[in-house]
Amino acid sequence: MSDYKYSIEAKNVNKIFYKKSSQTNALDNFNIRIKKGSIHGLLGPNGAGKSTFINILGGLVKKNSGTVSICGLNIDSFSKQSKFKIGIVPQELNIDPFFSPNELLELQAGLYGIPKKERKTETILKNVGLHEQKNAYARTLSGGMRRRLLVAKALVHSPEMLILDEPTAGVDVELRRSLWNYIKRINDEGTTICLTTHYLEEAEELCDNITIINNGKILTDDTKQNLLNTISNKTVSFSLITKIKIPEILNKYKPILQGKKLILNYDKDIVSLKKIIDILNSNNIEFKEINTFESDLEDVFIKLIKKK
Instruction: Tell me the per-residue pLDDT of 83-92, one tens digit each, with 9 for 90 and over.
Output: 999 999 988 8
pLDDT at position 3, please? 81
Residue pLDDT, tens place only, 196-240: 987 788 888 899 999 999 889 998 899 988 887 777 678 899 999
Residue pLDDT, tens place only, 42-59: 998 888 899 999 999 999
Residue 274 shares a structural domain with residue 295: yes
Element (H, E) at 203: helix 200-206
Averaged confidence pLDDT in the chain: 89
Distance between CA atoms of residues 39 and 203, nearest Å? 9
pLDDT at position 103, please? 96
pLDDT at 307 over 70: no
Lowest model confidence (mean pLDDT) among 176-185, 255-264, 281-290 = 176-185
Residue 203 shares a structural domain with residue 246: no
- Residue 279: pLDDT band with limits 50, 70, 90: very high
151 belongs to a structural domain: no
Residue 12 shares a structural domain with residue 64: yes
Residue 44 shares a structural domain with residue 26: yes
Residue 303 shares a structural domain with residue 272: yes
Residue 24 shares a structural domain with residue 60: yes
pLDDT at position 251, please? 93
- The count of structural domains within the chain is 2
Residue 221 shares a structural domain with residue 249: no
**pTM (predicted TM-score):** 0.78
Q: Please give the average per-residue pLDDT across 6-30, as a whole number.
A: 93
- Residue 96: pLDDT band with limits 50, 70, 90: confident
CA 148 to each of CA 131, 154, 266: distance values in angstroms, whole numbers, following the listed order: 11, 10, 43
CB 219 within 8 A of CB 51: no
Residue pLDDT, tens place only, 246-265: 999 999 999 999 999 999 98
pLDDT at 296 over 80: no
Closest CA to 166 of 50, 55, 305, 13: 50
Closest CA to 205 of 294, 297, 127: 297
Backbone torsions φ then ψ of 47, nearest 5 degrees = 80, 10
273 belongs to a structural domain: yes
130 belongs to a structural domain: no
Residue pLDDT, tens place only, 103-136: 999 999 999 999 999 999 999 999 888 999 999 9
103 belongs to a structural domain: no
111 belongs to a structural domain: no
Residue 211 shares a structural domain with residue 242: no
Residue 298 shares a structural domain with residue 258: yes
The 3-class SS string of 28-55 reads EEEEEEEECCCEEEEECCCCCCHHHHHH
CB 260 within 8 A of CB 239: yes
Range of the domain at 271: 232-307
247 belongs to a structural domain: yes
95 belongs to a structural domain: no
Distance between CA atoms of residues 15 and 212, nearest Å? 18
